Amino acid sequence: MRGTVRKMRVDQQTLGSDDLRYFLPLDGIDFSLNEHIGQSLRISCSERITCVGCGKSSNKSFSQGYCYRCLTTLAACDMCIMKPETCHHHLGTCREPSWGEANCMIPHIVYLANSTGVKVGITRETQIPTRWVDQGAGQALPIFRVATRRLSGLIEVVLAEHISDKTKWQALVKGDYADMDLVAERERLFELCHAELDALMAEYPSQIEPLEAEVLALGYPVQQFALKAKSLAPEKGVVEGVLTGIKGQYLLFDTGVLNVRKYTGYEWEVTVL
Give the pLDDT score at 244: 97
pLDDT tens digits, residue range 202-249? 999 999 999 999 999 999 999 999 988 999 999 888 999 999 999 999
- Rounded to the nearest integer, the mean pLDDT of the chain is 94
What is the rounded distance in angstroms from the CA atom of residue 224 to the CA atom of residue 211? 36
Q: Which amino acid is at 246?
A: I
Average pLDDT over residues 133-137: 95
Give the pLDDT score at 21: 95
Q: Nearest 5 degrees, angle CA 88-CA 92-CA 94? A: 55
3-state SS string for 177-223:
CCCCCHHHHHHHHHHHCHHHHHHHHHHCCCCEEECCCCCEECCCCEC
Helix (H) or strand (E) holding 104: none
Average pLDDT over residues 181-185: 97
Q: Nearest 5 degrees, angle CA 79-CA 83-CA 84? A: 105
Cβ 34 vs Cβ 22: under 8 Å = yes
What is the rounded distance in angstroms from the CA atom of residue 233 to the CA atom of residue 240? 11
Asked if pLDDT for residue 127 goes beyond 80, the answer is yes
Asked if pLDDT for residue 64 goes beyond 90, the answer is no
Q: Which of 263, 238, 267, 247 minimizes the C-alpha distance to 40? A: 238
Cβ 45 vs Cβ 235: under 8 Å = yes
Give the pLDDT score at 136: 95
Average pLDDT over residues 91-105: 94
Average pLDDT over residues 174-186: 95
Give the pLDDT score at 57: 95
Asked if pLDDT for residue 18 goes beyond 80, the answer is no
What is the rounded distance in angstroms from the CA atom of residue 226 to the CA atom of residue 170? 9
Asked if pLDDT for residue 177 goes beyond 80, the answer is yes
What is the rounded distance in angstroms from the CA atom of residue 218 to the CA atom of residue 131? 12
Give the pLDDT score at 238: 92
Asked if pLDDT for residue 16 goes beyond 80, the answer is no
Average pLDDT over residues 172-201: 96
pLDDT band at residue 132 under the 50/70/90 scheme: very high
pLDDT band at residue 128 under the 50/70/90 scheme: very high
* Angle between helical axes of 194-203 and 182-192 (0-180°, round to 10): 80
Give the pLDDT score at 115: 94
Percent of the chain surpassing pLDDT 70: 99
What is the rounded distance in angstroms from the CA atom of residue 162 to the CA atom of residue 96? 34
Each domain of the chain, given as residue ranges in start order, spans: 2-55+221-272, 106-217
- How many CB atoms sit inside 10 A of residue 272's CB? 12
Average pLDDT over residues 67-85: 94
Give the pLDDT score at 165: 87
Give the pLDDT score at 186: 97
